[in-house]
Amino acid sequence: MSADLPLDDLRRHGHEVVDYLVDYLARVEGLPVLPAVTPGEIKGLLPPSPPLTGESMDVVLADLDRIIVPGLTHWNHPGFFGYFAVTGSGPGILADALAAAFNNIAMMWRTSPAATELEEVTLDWLRQMLGLPAAFEGVIYDTASMASLCAMAAAREVATDSAARQYGLAVGARLRLYTSEHAHASIEKAAITLGIGLAGVKKIPTDAEFRMDPDALARAIAEDRAEGWRPFCVVATVGTTSMSSIDPIPAIADLCAREALWLHVDAAYGGAAAVVPELRWVLDGCDRADSLVVNPHKWLFVPMDCSALFTPRLDVLRQAFSLVPSYLQFAQMDEVRNFMDYGPQLGRRFRALKLWFVFRAFGVDGLAERIRNHVAWAQEFAAWVDKSPRFERLAPTPLSLVCFRAVRDDFNEGDLNKLNEHLLDAVNRRGRVFLSHTKLGNRYALRLAIGNLRTTLAHVRLTWDELNAALDELNPG
Amino acid sequence: MSADLPLDDLRRHGHEVVDYLVDYLARVEGLPVLPAVTPGEIKGLLPPSPPLTGESMDVVLADLDRIIVPGLTHWNHPGFFGYFAVTGSGPGILADALAAAFNNIAMMWRTSPAATELEEVTLDWLRQMLGLPAAFEGVIYDTASMASLCAMAAAREVATDSAARQYGLAVGARLRLYTSEHAHASIEKAAITLGIGLAGVKKIPTDAEFRMDPDALARAIAEDRAEGWRPFCVVATVGTTSMSSIDPIPAIADLCAREALWLHVDAAYGGAAAVVPELRWVLDGCDRADSLVVNPHKWLFVPMDCSALFTPRLDVLRQAFSLVPSYLQFAQMDEVRNFMDYGPQLGRRFRALKLWFVFRAFGVDGLAERIRNHVAWAQEFAAWVDKSPRFERLAPTPLSLVCFRAVRDDFNEGDLNKLNEHLLDAVNRRGRVFLSHTKLGNRYALRLAIGNLRTTLAHVRLTWDELNAALDELNPG
């Protein structure tokens, strides 16, 4: 018995896999974005127990094609416009394959000097691309959910003068964090995780363009202080998930400075736009943030998962989380960066490699050009919506996300919601494109999120045609 | 400008990458396990700013070979015996490459039906392989650090009757968790993260074989209750990191049942041994646990990252974490599993694919055979240590980890510690194998952790020879 797959077999199957995945990317556009499977259908095709003896990779790869791929939602499809569109780009795929082969764990400098230093360098490249100050240092996390959680833990650490780390929150103040009513759900999940609780999160109302209202924020903080709460953190968003609104960071930063609150900016999606010179304004004021997260796995064409946190206060994160057991100590420990020190997770994949591959393959100008196109196409789609009597836009379109709905004069809001739900369902069932939805107040809104690298203007136009055709069917005459 | 790397180029470079990584695996044994680089050396070889225009993948791949690979710690080296040895196996590498190409996100059933159902099926396969009851359901996390954190959050939820989720810990009881003095540092990190604090973790002493003492545990719980603490969870370990000791789960489970405490078992490393019929005893009593974590990325030959949590109380995890914003709701939501519901992270890679590839390629008997070998070789190495007058074993060797040190009659403990530190350094500098260390009480111990798939008995024997040769140099005459 060979211990691992023999290298000759790995080579042969590796070449097959390369051909398979390239062919997949070539043909994915012909597949329905959402698979036509029902709950339990895939499970029913898989044996209930594992095989006792090893099987040939030929069989496994055939089953992949026969059972798994037909049940995938194709996120790497150029017609994927749901949630936020992402990309497993060619350079990123190559890097992830290599990372799995190296299988090195980037927890400490010693366990992978090149991975550690490449993480420092590529994050500094990204910092420069975003126009953030040199004092901002970076850490890669798996997701923005974790990056924001760690930033909030750092804020908690400062607010409790390190009592949180030592004694927990049971003996401490009632901490409160402020974020917009349109903030990502991960902020509330982090508050749950951190022992702050949902009651420790105050949702601040937004203006007509869905941006956090700094006056309402100031009032909430004052009221809370009067009631014995301990305000400790504001999470502002650059590019909210529902409608890509951009909170007024400069005004919020003023307030945070005045109130001595940690300012965390969730720019998981929107931050990438700052790579485009004429869109750099999206991060205005963020040089005054205490932390900011941008997801290269969202709009920077890096495969899942890779989320970058930047902060001028990396020492506070370290203070919050560092805990080095004797079995991990090594001589040069204090001279180097050990990325395990900045969060709850010890094990860390070699994620910097795909950042390096993607940044080098596309270059800063190349990345900017691609993001610029996505924004331009969203504006074009928004203009079609605005010109059409059958549709209306429900939110501004500062970036590459369009929120809109079908309208009919003779329908009330309830009817419109139903119509748009059916419309979305009809378009998604046709399978050529996939859009998602949100609720804006009581209104059911359709979301077109442009972000996949292989999407072209033709796919955006196709979406418009599909929407109109589906609406024709729902709205005859 | 092509949006992504043109598919013809991706195909060509993909084939190059396959050849590169297969050649890497073929030659890695000839490379020093730990690279001979100094802090900052890799950074110095990388440009301080990102390229403005895209570069050819030929150049990037050449730089990978020239700059990055010489700076890697080679975790996939058959002479890697440090920390816990892991493996990026051939089938796992193929799966990770495919997952990057699909780039599908397994947050909800709808965003990847096949990924969701494959996760359910492969985890149930693993459950059967470990001999856990059918009521145990699984979730994949990135790391055991996160899996344990989520289990502890579920325990917190039960103990506070859901007040933690809603109100945080500021208004609640002083929670306390119990774990052995040899538990993994991630347990304390999770306590920090969860707002329980380091003071909320009580370290229970161990017996002569480094196993948690259930009587000491019972006393600690009683004392804490008397002092107004609220005991809520015990974390027992099957295979501690320092010395692979196995806590007495049956006695601890009795106590947890009596005291109504959540029992979480950290079997991140040791759990895999239960795949071997004659080693299944390592999980004795774990059928009574409330949760248990095993890392397929540790000793089941799956590349980083993939950690499996099993629990008969998945509903409690869901209750602790589920929070579904309107933009993620879909029609069949409640009929299916949505894996985002069980932790703080929304985004989730398609990790089940590599589990499926590895389980099928090796089969249950194949996995058992490989793990059995690792354990047998560790016993063999332990016997060499025991027979040699120059070395002594410092802990039992129930699994594949040997803790030992060099001895000299004329040395006191301080001298012995220095000798062994120098010995470890000398062996690791020679570069053919890599061992790590720990502290057992005040004793500096060397750790030989067998777990890489390409390791053979010859590599274990080589390690013994290297140790003796290095000791000859340090101990002339």
Q: Is A276 helix (H, G, I), strand (E, B) or coil?
A: coil
Q: State pLDDT tens for residues A419-470.
A: 999 999 999 999 999 999 999 999 999 999 999 999 999 999 999 999 999 9
Q: Kindly list the domain boundaries of chain A, sorted by start residue.
A: 105-349, 359-474
Class of domain A105-349: alpha beta
Q: What is the pLDDT of residue A477?
A: 56
Q: Is A156 helix (H, G, I), strand (E, B) or coil?
A: helix
All residues of chain A having their beta carbon less than 8 Å from the beta carbon of residue B89 are 4-5
Q: Are A463 and A79 in contact (CB under 8 A)?
A: yes
Q: State pLDDT tens for residues B110-154.
A: 999 999 999 999 999 999 999 999 999 999 999 999 999 999 999
Percent of the residues in chain A that have a pLDDT greater than 90, as a whole number: 93
Mean pLDDT of A133-144: 98
Nearest of A169, A29, A318, A112 to residue B73 by alpha carbon: A112
Which of A96, A110, A364 is closest, CB to CB, to B96?
Answer: A96
Mean pLDDT of A44-56: 97
Q: What's the whole-number average pLDDT of chain B? A: 96
For testing the chain A interface, which of B137, B345, B354, B356 should be mutated: the one with the most A CBs within 10 Å? B345
Q: Secondary structure of chain A: what % helix, strand, coil (to 5)?
A: 50, 15, 35
Q: Interface pTM (ipTM) of the complex?
A: 0.97
Q: What is the pLDDT of residue B156?
A: 96
Gap from B141 CA to chain A (nearest CA, Å): 11
Percent of the residues in chain B that have a pLDDT greater than 90, as a whole number: 93
CB contact under 8 A, B344 and A186: yes
All residues of chain B having their beta carbon less than 8 Å from the beta carbon of residue A374 are none
Q: What's the rounded Cα separation, in Å, for the pair A45 and A70?
A: 12
The pairing of strands A307-311 and A391-393 is unpaired
The residues, ordered by sequence, that sit 6+ positions from B416 with a Cβ below 8 Å of its Cβ are B405, B406, B407, B408, B443, B444
Q: What's the whole-number average pLDDT of chain A? A: 96
Nearest of B57, B133, B215 to residue A358 by alpha carbon: B57
Mean pLDDT of B87-107: 97
Q: What's the rounded Cα separation, in Å, for the pair B476 and B196?
A: 52
Closest-CA residue of A relative to B87 is A103
Residue by residue, what is the 3-state secondary structure of chain B?
CCCCCCHHHHHHHHHHHHHHHHHHHHHHHHCCCCCCCCCCHHHHHCCCCCCCCCCCHHHHHHHHHHHHHHHCCCCCCCCEECCCCCCCCHHHHHHHHHHHHHCCCCCCCCCCHHHHHHHHHHHHHHHHHHCCCCCCEEEEECCHHHHHHHHHHHHHHHHCCCHHHHHCCCCCCCEEEEEECCCCHHHHHHHHHCCCCHHHEEEECECCCCCECHHHHHHHHHHHHHCCCEEEEEEEEECCCCCCCECCHHHHHHHHHHHCCEEEEECCCHHHHHHCHHHHHHHCCHHHCCEEEECHHHHCCCCCCCEEEEECCHHHHHHHHCCCCHHHCCCCHHHCCCHHHHCCCCCCCCCHHHHHHHHHHHHHHHHHHHHHHHHHHHHHHHHHHHHCCCEEECCCCCCCEEEEEECCCCCCHHHHHHHHHHHHHHHHHHCCCEEEEEEECCEEEEEEECCCCCCCHHHHHHHHHHHHHHHHHHCCC
CB contact under 8 A, A165 and B192: yes
Dihedral sign for Cα A455, A461, A464, A468, please: negative
The arrangement of secondary structure in A359-474, i.e. its CATH architecture, is: Alpha-Beta Complex (3.90)
Q: State pLDDT tens for residues B187-236.
A: 999 999 999 999 999 999 999 999 999 999 999 999 999 999 999 999 99
Fill in the amino acid letter for B106. A
Q: Are B172 and A170 in contact (CB under 8 A)?
A: yes
Nearest of A140, A88, A121 to residue A293 by alpha carbon: A140
Q: What's the rounded Cα separation, in Å, for the pair A435 and A451?
A: 12
Q: What's the rounded Cα separation, in Å, for the pair A216 and A206?
A: 8
Q: What is the pLDDT of residue A26?
A: 97
pLDDT category of residue B329 using cuts at 50, 70 and 90 = confident
Q: What's the rounded Cα separation, in Å, for the pair B129 and A50?
A: 8
Mean pLDDT of A300-319: 97
Residue by residue, what is the 3-state secondary structure of A400-442?
CEEEEEECCCCCCHHHHHHHHHHHHHHHHHHCCCEEEEEEECC
Tokens of B227: 């002092």
Closest-CA residue of B relative to A331 is B425
Which of B54, B94, B185 is closest, CB to CB, to A362?
Answer: B54
> pTM of the prediction?
0.97
Which of A43, A125, A170 is closest, CB to CB, to B169?
Answer: A170
Tokens of A80: 């994927």
All residues of chain B having their beta carbon less than 8 Å from the beta carbon of residue A348 are 304
Classify domain B97-358 by CATH number: 3.40.640.10
* Bridge partners of residue A234, in order along the sequence: A178, A263
